[in-house]
Each structure stands twice: as C-alpha cells, then as structure tokens.
C-alpha cells in the first residue's frame, strides 16, 4: 500500500502530493485513508457510492474508444477542497457526515450501510455487460488507488481497459503504482496559477504539471480538462500559458474546455459564456494544439474532431455521443493523416 511507517504508530501516506503525516486513529486530508494501529486502512475499499454505465465522452475522453459505453465507479472523499466542486456531496462527505433514513451518521458508519463490491464483482459486472473499459471517476481515484488497482489488474487479465479521471494531484509513487495498469487518464488542469490552486483548491499547481508529463512519458493516453471560471482563470494570458504548457508536453493532447456553473461554495458566481469557451479554443489552436474541444454547452462543431491536416470531419458529436465519420484504423480516410489517440 501507498504509505510508510514513521514510528510510534504514526505513518506517512504516499498516495498524493500532500504526503500527510497521520497519527494513530486519524485520517489524512482526504478523510478516507486512516491510521489504524500503525497500518493504513482504506475506509472506502469495496464501498463505491456509484456504479454506472455511460458514454466514454462523459469523462470526457474523445480520442479513446470514441462512442463506447463503459462502466464507471467512484467512492467518497477527495485530496482537494475545490470551492466550485460539482461532486461536493460525495467528495466532501468525510467532512460532513451523512443522513440515512433521517438518522445522522458518522460517515464511517454510513459506509457500512453500502453494498460491498469486491474487485472480482466489479470486473464480472463489466464483462457481463460487454463493455470494453472501466473508469475510476466521480471522486478522486488517487485516494483509493489500492482498490482501483486491485480491480484494474483483474480487468487487464479479462481483456478490459482502465481509465482514471483525476485531478492529477498524486505522488510520483502513485504514478508508478497505477501507470502499468492504466490505458488512459483525463487530468483536470484547473488553472496555471499557484495562487488559484492554493486559494481555491487547497493544493499546488506544480505536482499536477509534473504528473501530466509523467503519464505522457510512460505511454498512458492523456487528455486534459479545464473548467473555465469567469474572473478566475479565463484571462487571455492564463489561457495562453495553459495552452502553451500542454503543447510543450505534446500538441496531440486533447484539451477539453468546460463551462462553469455555480455550485458548492461558488453558487452565486456567473456561468461561463460560450463566447469565452470559443475564445479559449482559438487560443489553444494558436498555441499549436491539434485537438481542442468545447463542452458543457451546446458545442456544435466545436465538439467535433477534424483532421488537423486536411480539415475533414472525423468524429461528429452530439450530447454525450459520438459518430465516427471518416476515421479508419486511426487515420483520416481522406488524406491518410494519423490521428492521435486509441481507436
């Protein structure tokens, strides 16, 4: 497991870039990794809060098995504290407790009320439905990587692929631990500002940048999402720096530009306009990125995939759907240009 003992029944968690020092009987910032008599206990092991079958475009992943239905599961907790979190009801539950049938429960008692899903059951369910991949999503999979990887190893043996949807705030130790079993990852690059990460997310930017590079270097397919928040990370300068960083890693990385709507502790904040997203898409293209997409709004052609060489439409997308048009064996059917991704 991703921790080391530090003496006197204390331990240091190695799962994420916080590297929490956890005294006996306490948990790390995520609320799900607890020191039990000097051993790390993953409280959410086998206790997903959601198991669904949905389009891979929802992750979002546009250049990995486009049009496929996949199995998605998530647990509870998070190693970030983003004030705009759209899944705060599950990511922040360890800080809030839960109400079940009108009774206030500690969140650990709440976990005991949930159905137990051992790794073999997850993989069997995926195989029975005939899906090609599993996604570890809804909350941050970094903090439950031991459970995710026990599933992922069995999934690989069964011929299934594995996908993380992550904030990228993991340790190098976790990257090395999960990368051999991951086929793709969508990393949420929230800003290009250390101040934003500290003030809004209670984290740091640099570990996320480092991990984007690490996953690309080890051959995991990477796509990046940025939630564009008016007045926070939508300036031309910041968007340009975000795009230039991504392009410096690889111009083939798809960049998803997502519209913000008020939630959690930012409910009164204005929503992102379509015009701002289109502006950001143009900035991404000018920086050399070949595949930039607009999401969370009626995107039209801004959600389609076009050949970067000849402009032919390759994948046409509607709401959470994809229709392959002129893409064969990973190449443009018109000019034979190779299209980056795993098709």
- Quickly state the pLDDT bin for 82 (edges 50, 70, 90): very high
Stretch 167-189: mean pLDDT, rounded?
98
State whether 139 and 94 are in the same domain.
Answer: yes
State whether 150 and 250 are in the same domain.
Answer: yes
- Among 233, 183, 227, 191, residue whose Cα is nearest residue 209: 191
Total tally of structural domains belonging to the chain:
2
State whether 23 and 153 are in the same domain.
Answer: no
State whether 140 and 157 are in the same domain.
Answer: yes
**So what's the pLDDT on residue 108?**
78
Query: Residue 260 sits in which domain range?
Result: 50-303
Residue 331 lies in a domain: no
Q: What is the pLDDT of residues 320-342, one digit of tens each?
A: 789 999 999 999 999 999 999 99
Q: What is the pLDDT of residues 3-59, one digit of tens each?
A: 999 999 999 999 999 999 999 999 999 999 999 999 999 999 999 999 999 999 999
State whether 15 and 108 are in the same domain.
Answer: no
State whether 145 and 191 are in the same domain.
Answer: yes
State whether 246 and 148 are in the same domain.
Answer: yes
State whether 57 and 28 are in the same domain.
Answer: no
* Average pLDDT, rounded, for the chain: 94
State whether 202 and 163 are in the same domain.
Answer: yes
Stretch 91-100: mean pLDDT, rounded?
62
Residue 299 has pLDDT above 70, yes or no: no
Residue 298 has pLDDT above 80, yes or no: no
Residue 327 lies in a domain: no
State whether 86 and 194 are in the same domain.
Answer: yes
Residue 221 lies in a domain: yes
Which CATH number does the domain housing residue 176 bear?
3.20.20.70
Upstream peptide bond of 60 is cis (omega within 30 degrees of 0): yes
CA angle, 294 as apex, 293 and 299 as ends, to 5°? 120
**So what's the pLDDT on residue 101?**
47
Q: Residue 272 has what DSSP assignment?
A: P
Tell me the Cα Rg of the chain. Answer: 20
Q: What is the pLDDT of residues 106-145, one digit of tens each?
A: 777 888 889 999 999 999 999 999 999 999 999 999 999 9
What is the distance between the alpha carbons of residues 244 and 276, in angstroms, rounded to a whole number? 18
Q: What is the pLDDT of residues 209-228, one digit of tens each?
A: 999 999 999 999 999 999 99
State whether 28 and 93 are in the same domain.
Answer: no
Enter the pTM of the model.
0.96
- Quickly state the pLDDT bin for 96 (edges 50, 70, 90): low
Residue 330 lies in a domain: no
Residue 322 lies in a domain: no
Residue 247 lies in a domain: yes
Scanning the chain, the segments in alpha helix (DSSP H) are 88-91, 93-96, 107-111, 119-129, 145-157, 172-178, 194-196, 206-217, 236-249, 274-286
Residue 240 lies in a domain: yes
Residue 139 lies in a domain: yes
Q: Poorest-confidence range of 38-47, 182-191, 267-276?
A: 267-276
What the block records as the tokens of 92 is: 């922040």
State whether 91 and 125 are in the same domain.
Answer: yes
């Amino acid at each position: 497991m991703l921790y080391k003992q530090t003496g006197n029944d204390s331990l240091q968690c190695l799962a994420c870039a916080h590297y929490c020092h956890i005294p006996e009987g306490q948990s790390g910032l995520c609320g799900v990794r607890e020191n039990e008599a000097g051993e790390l206990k993953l409280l959410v092991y086998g206790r997903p809060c959601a198991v669904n079958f949905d389009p891979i475009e929802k992750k979002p992943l546009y250049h990995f098995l486009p049009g496929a239905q996949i199995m998605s599961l998530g647990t509870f907790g998070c190693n970030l504290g983003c004030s705009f979190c759209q899944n705060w009801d599950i990511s922040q539950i360890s800080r809030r407790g839960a109400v079940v049938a009108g009774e206030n429960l500690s969140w650990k008692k709440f976990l005991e009320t949930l159905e137990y899903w051992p790794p073999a059951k997850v993989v069997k369910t995926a195989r029975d439905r005939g899906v090609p991949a599993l996604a570890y999503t809804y909350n941050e999979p970094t903090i439950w990587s031991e459970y995710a990887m026990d599933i992922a190893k069995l999934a690989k043996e069964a011929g299934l692929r594995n996908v993380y949807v992550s904030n990228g705030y993991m340790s190098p130790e976790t990257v090395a631990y999960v990368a051999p079993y991951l086929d793709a990852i969508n990393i949420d690059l929230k800003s290009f500002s250390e101040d934003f990460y500290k003030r809004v997310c209670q984290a740091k930017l640099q570990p996320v940048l480092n991990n984007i590079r690490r996953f690309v270097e080890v051959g995991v397919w990477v796509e990046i999402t940025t939630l564009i928040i008016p007045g926070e990370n939508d300036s031309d300068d910041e968007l340009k720096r975000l795009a230039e960083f991504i392009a410096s890693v690889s111009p083939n990385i798809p960049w998803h530009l997502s519209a913000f709507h008020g939630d959690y502790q930012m409910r009164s904040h204005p929503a992102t306009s379509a015009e701002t997203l289109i502006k950001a898409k143009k900035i991404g293209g000018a920086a050399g990125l070949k595949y930039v997409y607009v999401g969370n709004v009626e995107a039209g052609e801004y959600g389609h995939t076009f050949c970067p060489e000849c402009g032919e439409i390759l994948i046409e997308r509607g709401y959470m759907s994809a229709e392959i048009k002129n893409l064969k064996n990973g190449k443009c059917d018109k000019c034979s240009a190779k299209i980056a991704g795993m098709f």
